Every structure is written in structure tokens, then in C-alpha cells.
A and B are shown apart, each in its own frame.
Chain A
Amino acid sequence: MKEEATKELLYKIADDQLVLGHRNSEWTGFGPLLEEDIAFSSMAQDKLGQSLVLYQLLHQLGEAPPDTVAFMRDSTSFHNCIFTELPNGEYDFSLVRHFLFDTAEKLRFEMLRESTFIALAELAVKISGELRYHDLHARTWMKQLGSATEESILRLQQSLTFSLPYALGIFEVSPYEEELTSEKIFAGEKILRDRWMERVEETLKKTELRLPQWESINPVFGGRAGNHSEHLQPLLDEMSEVFKIDPNAEW
């Protein structure tokens, strides 16, 4: 049971990173300015790297090798939250998603530093600098565009309002929540969500952006259990297109 709980936790974090990493990488070559194109692409690459380490941990627990797990599953076997699979749309949405998701990601890994699953705790320490940069990048952009011009504030506000129900879906409770907390593997989605809300409020206070009452938002759940939007399967098909031509090819 403990191992199942750990696997479920690893899968959802890894799948989040893989799917959002892939989505964000779609901006490579199309970023709003050259420096930002490089920064956003680098962070997308970081996410893919983090997902790889997590899939390696899963492989050590008996799951299929990382490439198989990443490229050969269909959407119903993915545990990412729906937020990560939504199409990029315009840059304002991608930035808002980056801010809301990466804030949660940084806090999640801060909590995982205390995990009794040592390999995960070590990973959390190791990637703290990457997560610090992602967080700094996201907050700096939000503060900049969230108080720059009427258009930038309006665009971010619309994307924020659209994103919040999906963002709350990050914290969909796991069927193994009790095992995870009692075994001190992870302190739980509820604690993470409360810390995230506090942190999001703290950053947005420095902007002209408005947060609705948290209670008024209906979270979009389902992703953690494999119930995804129509956007995930096409993303997976595109991501694995080359790999599937010859799954045994040596690269």
C-alpha cells in the first residue's frame, strides 16, 4: 500500500512536469522577446529533466523505463492535472499558468524535502535552485505586467479568472492521502493548497490584479484519476510521434 501511494505521488508530479514542460516548449522560437524565449525554453527543459528523474525513481520501484512511461501511455493513464494540458493560447495565459503552477511546484518540493522517501527528499534539495528561478521568473513577470498598462492588466486578469478553477485542480486529493501523510512521505494536498493560496495572494497584492473569493471558485478535478480534457491525447500523440516510429531505436 505504501509503495502504491508513493507511485501515485511520483506519477502525478512527473506527469505534471512532462506535460507542462512539453506545452511550454511549444513557445520555443515564438517567445515575445529573444531573452524571454530562451528563459521560457530553458525552464521547459528543466521540467522535462525533473520528470525524467521522477520516472527513473518509478522505474526503480518496478515501473516501465522512463521512455516507455513517457511516450507509450495513452491519456487515461496520465495523472497530470488538467491545468497543465490546456493549449498555450496567448502568452498571457501561458504566463499566468506558469505563475500559478510553478508557485505550487516550488512549495510542493519544499514540503518534499522532509519526505521519508529519501530519494524524493534528495531530489527536492537538488532542484531547489531551478525551482527558485522558475518562481522568481514567474513572480517578476506577474508584478511587471500586472501593473504596467491597462491592456496588460486586463489580459492577465482575464487569464487569471479563467485559470483559477483549473489551478485549484492541482490539489485534487489522492486516494492515498492518508498513507502519504501517516508515512510522512508527503504532508498532503490540503496543506499545499493553503500555502499556495497565501503565496499567490502575497504576489498579486503587489499588482492591480484581483483575486475572487477562493470559496466562489469551483475546482476542475479529474486529471489525477485519468479523466482529462480533449487536449491531452493530441498533445501526447504529437510528443511521441517520432518515438513511436521506432520505439527500439538507439538515440
Chain B
Amino acid sequence: MNSLDPRVNRLPQNVTSNKEEAALSQFSTFEVFVQPNPKKTFQHEGAVHGPNLEMAFVMAKEAFTRRFTCSSLYVVETAKVFVSALSEGDQNAFDLIQEPAQSTGHANSFEIYILQKRGKQTVHAGQVFADSPEEAMWNARQQLNKATQVFQVWAIRTDDIRFTTVDEGDLWQTLPEKKFRDASDYKGGEKLKEFLDKGNNL
């Protein structure tokens, strides 16, 4: 390969790909939840790939919190996010949740997320205690179903989550200063005007 970008010419050439390698690089996905500041609730931001929960946390930090502000984030394997049916029209997703056949106890805590508007992020609505995700959904219907319509409900067992630890609170300490990572920090208007004026005066 011969490129004008010298970095390209320096890339290792012996990249091989075989089936075994492909299988190893097919990572599962993990969902990422972010709290922009301590006064706000957590909200779903997207997914990252990773071989395990810890790697997913490490990847999520830069993939989803490298701009603006952040006070905390957590990740959970996508397969461990229990999702309700998506409601249509003016139907409330909570109303679609069925009571589980057997109610056994309240051994685990679950984080409940709701989708309040299609196209928006799913946001944290509260915590319930249950033995199974189905039961958590039902308990959420009983305890967190407010007057406003929601389109979908998610339940995540709290123990399945990789949270930001107390020690890690400083991970985003300098983030507000990194304004150069956002387009709004680049104001070309005045320079452009100056350039055009120069042209007009020629």
C-alpha cells in the first residue's frame, strides 16, 4: 500500500484473517447508561462491543463520555436487559405487562428504565425488588406506573451491572475543560468574514 498518509505506509502488513480469528473477534454487546451530572437520572446512551463486562466498561467510558460532562456510567450485557413489548398509539407499555404465574419473593433488586418518547433515550425510573425479571416488570407496573404514557419498560438485575466505583468518581474531572472535542468550540465565522472582506477590498 502506498498512501499520502505516512501512518498508513507504516501499518503492519501481515494482517491475516481466518475463521477461528473471526469467531474470537465476534464480541457480544453491552448497554451503556450515563449520568451527565449528579442531579440528573441515568439514561441509556447506546451499546459497545467487548469480550466481558470490565472491558465493556473501559470501552464505554471513551465511546460515550468523552464530551461535555459526566458523573457516572454503568454497563450491562445486552442479553441481561429484560425488555417489555413496545406499545403502539396511545397504549401504555406498563398495561401490556402480565402478572407472572408465580410470585416467589423479593430477593434481587432491579433497575427499571422507561421509554417516554419514541426516538428519545430510555431513562431510569426507579428500583424494584423481585426474584425474576418478569416479576420485576410486574412490580414496576404496580409501583412506577405514573399517569404519563410510556412505550417500553426495561428491567436489569442490579447485580449484573458494572457500576462506576466511588474511587472512580474522578474519571471525568477534567472533562468539562475538553471543549475542543466539540464542534461548538470552533468558531470560524469571524475569520471567514475577515477573509471575505480582504477579498472584497482587493
Which A residues are in CB contact (< 8 Å) with B202?
none
Assuming the A-B contacts A140-B55, A144-B55, are A39 and B63 also in contact, with contact meaning beta carbons closer than 8 angstroms in the complex? yes
Q: Is the interface of A mostly helix, strand, loop or mixed?
A: helix
Q: How far is the CA of A129 from the CA of B72 in the complex (A)?
A: 13
Report the minimum CB–CB distance from B74 to chain A (whole Å): 15
Known A-B contacts A26-B7, A87-B10, A132-B171; A38 and B66 likewise in contact (beta carbons under 8 Å): yes
Given contacts A36-B59, A38-B66, A132-B168, contact A126 B49 (CB under 8 A): no
B156 interface residue (CB < 8 Å to A): no
Q: Which of B11, B51, B63, B170 contacts A38 (CB 8 A)?
A: B63
Bound: A140/B63 CA distance, A: 16
With A128-B173, A129-B171, A149-B24 known as contacts, the answer to whether A39 contacts B10 (CB < 8 A) is: no
Within 8 A of B (CB), among A160-216: none
B163: interface (CB < 8 Å): no
- A35/B63 contact (C-beta < 8 A), A26-B7, A30-B7, A140-B54 known: yes
Contact flag A129-B66 (CB < 8 Å), given A26-B10, A30-B7, A30-B11: no
Q: Mark B48-89, 1 if CB is under 8 A from A, else 0.
A: 111110110011111100100000000000000000000000
Answer whether A129 and B62 are a contact pair too, CB < 8 Å, given A30-B11, A35-B48, A140-B54: no
Residues of A within 8 A of B50 (CB): 35
User: Which residues of B are interface residues toward A (Cβ below 8 A)?
Assistant: 6-8, 10-12, 24-25, 27, 48-52, 54-55, 58-63, 66, 167-168, 170-174, 178, 181
Q: Which 10 interchain pairs have the tightest Cβ spacing?
A: A129-B170, A35-B59, A129-B173, A39-B62, A42-B62, A90-B12, A26-B7, A129-B171, A35-B63, A140-B58
- Which residues of A come within 8 Å of B, CB atoms? 26, 29-30, 33-36, 38-39, 42-43, 45, 49, 87-90, 126-130, 132-133, 136-137, 140-141, 144, 148-149, 238
Q: List 21 A-B contacts (CB under 8 A).
A: A26-B7, A26-B10, A29-B7, A33-B25, A34-B49, A35-B62, A35-B63, A38-B63, A87-B10, A90-B12, A126-B173, A128-B170, A129-B172, A130-B174, A132-B168, A136-B58, A140-B54, A140-B55, A141-B58, A144-B52, A144-B54
Given contacts A90-B12, A144-B51, A149-B24, 19 further A-B contacts (CB under 8 A): A33-B25, A33-B27, A35-B49, A38-B62, A39-B58, A39-B59, A39-B62, A39-B63, A43-B62, A45-B181, A49-B178, A127-B174, A128-B170, A140-B55, A141-B58, A144-B52, A144-B54, A144-B55, A238-B6
